[in-house]
A and B are shown apart, each in its own frame.
Chain A
Amino acid sequence: MAEQNEQHLLELRGVHKRFGAVNALNGVDFHVDVGHVMALVGDNGAGKSTLIKCVAGIHTIDDGEVLWAGEPVSIHGPKDAARLGIEVVYQDLALADNLDVVQNMYLGRELLSTLRRLDEARMEKRSREVLKELSVTTIQSVRQTVASLSGGQRQSVAVAKAVLWNSKLVILDEPTAALGVAQTQQVLDLVRRLAEQGLAVVLVSHNMNDVFEVADHITVLRLGQNVAEFTTKDTNQREVVEAITAGQLHSVPGMQEEALA
């Protein structure tokens, strides 16, 4: 089925995830490569967020295989994912409003100086550098609390956090859903820059314009199964939307339930 010869940075094979009676992921195959943006699209409830959370270690998979650079791995928590170099920017932003930009970027991985004190100067310096590398120029002070930032600025902080950690794979769950036109563009530019810097990027989005602007490849999920994979330059929006709404399922949900019973 999947091409065995080429080695993907991340590859999922036949992944299952159930929540009680809900079959959120039903034998999903998925992959993403270094330096590429893979879009993950599908209708509400298709299982996109669930797939991402499995990769991030928020959920553990019930069945299937996860390969990292060709090696089978098991991800049992956010720390496992972070150790591999996987960073996720969530749909519901995982930033602490009461902390400032630097504190958020280093949350959970703070740098220490002598006597186990927080090394604020070093953290602030690196945060500024990374924001500058990514051309995030609209944030006035890295010492202002995240609560005072705009939606686009928050997304930028969340993405910059990924780069700060020398991540190899950055996953963004609907990063532009709540943003205006200019801010969306700002974030999309940032996504492209990540791929150009040699990271693998997964972008979850409902917005076909966004997807066609930044993605190299598109994976379509429907009812917890993958129904199609496209190369962006060889397809068009109509074809993708068709797959989202009416893509061929390899097992009908109702039958699956009976088979389980």
Chain B
Amino acid sequence: MTKVFRRLAEGDLGVVRVILVIALIWIYFQANNSHFLTAVNLTNLTLQTAGLGMISVGVVLVLLLGEIDLSVGAVSGLAGAVVAVLNVKHGWAAAPAILAGIAVGAAIGGAQGAIFAKIGVPSFVVTLAGLLAWQGMLLVVLGKTGTVNITDPGIVDLANKFFSHAIGWIVAVGVVAAYAASNLSRRRRRQAANLPVPSLVAVAVRIGLVAAVTFAAILVFNADRGLPLAVVILLGFVIVFDAITLRTVWGRHIFAVGGNAEAARRAGIKVDRIRIGVFALASALAGCGGILLASRLLAVNQSSGGSDTLLLAIAGPVIAGTSLFGGRGSIWSAVLGAVVIGSITNGIDLLSYPSSTRLLVTGAVLLAAVIIDALTSKRRRAVGR
């Protein structure tokens, strides 16, 4: 049994750490305001988290490369504005408008990635220029009115639709079944190849934990308005991109480039192509996040994607264990980090502390996370020699 726990700890230490942090934050706020852990508030918390988490998924990809993208906030605002303006002012249907917004994001990221990879301008400089330029472009797209209100249910529903209880349970059972099937089939494949396999108990514990969290979440959602569509969208993206990074050649090569670009090049990996692809994808995901944020706000305005969107979108994954030094991290850190930040924001709003407190606390959590990141990287280097 202790072996099971050690394996769990070794395999997912980063994840366990973040979950502990989230637990502490929740306990603190619940102790100070009994409204915090109600179904209504927890559902609101996930809705507040979805847009930022989506942007962070792209940020994780860029961080895995060992690079940074400072334009994701501005790109999210611009993509949201493109969708809103096309839909409201030009009468485009929701779906093509959304696709156009995402395409704008992808094109911006592709261009920034190419300038970084082909010309050799450091990524933080290219994307800093992008941050300014796309903020300017946002104002141009919005035009004189400055605010565009969204009413088309095709867009509004994204962050405001809830599924019935039954559908919530079906989704939950489906997710758990898929997780169990993939774990067991991986175990079977290893067994067939005569490789050591984790004990069935360990696998069962993992599946049990995932099932417990999933079903608890559905219980909470169903006690309020039901499973939000925004949550389904975000988790869908996270599951897909987690699989892409861990189970495909392209994902493997992202880690390789982030860990040692020269080694990747010598292994015949087209490093430039990986870099450009990742930047394009990250901006497209920032666009998706921007659309979710616009849907939640029911509008796009001049400050969309501004203020602390960028900083929080980068801080989240780093808080949840994705390294700023490249090559280490996971897509799940996007969600977990967003939950940490969302919980702090939500709790502090509930306790009606001033927003200075929110910034100070978030800053302190980020600093602690970065220090842990730097220390573990240093220790790894020390062990490596």
Interface-side segment among B47-55, B247-255, B345-353: B247-255
CB interface residues, A 53-74, toward B, < 8 Å = 56, 58
Check if A97 sits within 8 Å of B380, measured CB to CB.
Answer: yes
Instruction: Collect the chain B residues with CB atoms within 8 Å of residue A18's CB.
Output: none
Whether A121 contacts B269 by the Cβ 8 Å rule is no
Expressed in whole angstroms, the Cα–Cα distance for A98 and B380 within the complex equals 9
User: Known: A98-B259, A98-B327, A147-B384. Contact between A118 and B252, CB under 8 A?
Assistant: yes
Binary B-proximity of A145-165 (CB < 8 A = 1, otherwise 0) = 111110100000000000000
B197 to A: closest C-beta gap in Å: 10
What residues on A are CB-neighbors of B264 within 8 Å?
A: 96, 107-108
- Interface mask (B358-385 → A, CB under 8 Å = 1, otherwise 0): 0000000000000000000000110111
Q: Which residue of A lies closest to B384 (CB)?
A: A147
Residue A94 CB within 8 A of the other chain: yes
Q: Is A233 an interface residue (CB 8 A)?
A: no
Contact A124 B267 (CB under 8 A): no
The reply to whether A121 and B189 contact each other, CB–CB distance below 8 Å, is yes
Q: How far is the CB of B127 from chain A (nearest CB, A)?
A: 23
For residue B1, CB closer than 8 A to chain A, the reply is no
Please report the C-alpha to C-alpha distance between residue A6 and residue B269 in the assembled complex, in whole angstroms: 36
Q: Write the nearest CB–CB distance from B202 to chain A, whole angstroms.
A: 15
In the assembled complex, which residues on chain B have CB atoms less than 8 Å from the CB atom of A95? 260, 263
Whether a CB of chain B sits under 8 angstroms from the CB of A116 is yes
**B266→A96 contact, CB < 8 A:** no
Task: Please report which residues of chain A, range 67-115, place their CB below 8 angstroms from some CB of chain B when the two chains form the complex.
Answer: 77-79, 82, 88, 90, 92-99, 103, 107-110, 112
In A123-156, the 8 Å CB interface with B consists of 124-125, 128, 145-149, 151
Whether A250 is near chain B, meaning CB under 8 Å from some CB there, is no
Interchain CB contact under 8 A, A112 and B266: no
Residues of B257-287 whose CB lies within 8 A of A = 258-260, 262-269
Residues of B within 8 A of A124 (CB): 190, 193, 195
**How big is chain A's contact interface, by range?**
35 or more
The residues of A that contact B189 with a CB separation of less than 8 Å are 120-121
| A94: B residues at CB distance < 8 A | 260, 262-263, 266-267
Please report which residues of chain A, range 37-51, place their CB below 8 angstroms from some CB of chain B when the two chains form the complex.
none
Inter-subunit contact B192/A78 (CB<8 Å): no
Interface size class of B (residues with CB under 8 A): 20 to 34
Given contacts A98-B258, A98-B260, 13 further A-B contacts (CB under 8 A): A78-B268, A82-B268, A93-B263, A94-B262, A96-B260, A97-B327, A97-B384, A110-B249, A118-B252, A121-B192, A128-B195, A145-B380, A148-B380
Q: Looking at the complex, which one of B193, B247, B384 makes contact with A125 (CB distance below 8 Å)?
A: B193
A98 touches B385 (CB 8 A): no
**Contact yes or no, A78 B266, CB < 8 A:** yes
Q: Is B256 an interface residue (CB 8 A)?
A: yes
Chain A: which residue is nearest B257 at the CB level?
A96
A107-B256 in contact (CB<8A): yes
B252 touches A110 (CB 8 A): yes
B interface residues, Cβ below 8 angstroms from A: 186, 189-190, 192-195, 247-249, 252-253, 255-256, 258-260, 262-269, 326-328, 380-381, 383-385
A77 touches B193 (CB 8 A): no
Q: Which of A96, A116, A122 has the most CB of B within 10 A?
A: A96
Interface check A238, CB cutoff 8 A: no
Report A-chain residues with C-beta under 8 Å of the C-beta of B259. 96-99
Cβ contacts under 8 Å, A82 to chain B: 268
**CB-nearest residue of chain B to A107:** B267
How far is it, in angstroms, between the C-alpha of A100 and the C-alpha of B199 when the chains are bound? 22
A159 to B266, CA, bound (A): 15
Q: List 12 A-B contacts (CB under 8 A).
A: A78-B266, A88-B266, A94-B262, A94-B267, A96-B256, A96-B259, A96-B327, A108-B268, A118-B249, A121-B189, A121-B193, A128-B195
Q: Are A118 and B267 in contact (CB under 8 A)?
A: no
In order of increasing CB-CB distance, the 10 nearest A-B pairs are A108-B267, A98-B327, A98-B259, A96-B259, A147-B384, A94-B263, A96-B260, A121-B193, A107-B267, A108-B268
Find chain B residues with CB under 8 A from A92 CB: 262
Measured CB to CB, the closest approach of chain B to A151, in angstroms, equals: 7
**Residues of B contacting A146 in the complex (Cβ-Cβ under 8 angstroms):** 384
- Complex Cα spacing A160 to B260, Å: 19
Contacts of B383 in A (CB 8 A): 147-148
- If the complex has contacts A99-B256, A107-B269, are A121 and B381 also in contact, measured as CB distance less than 8 A? no
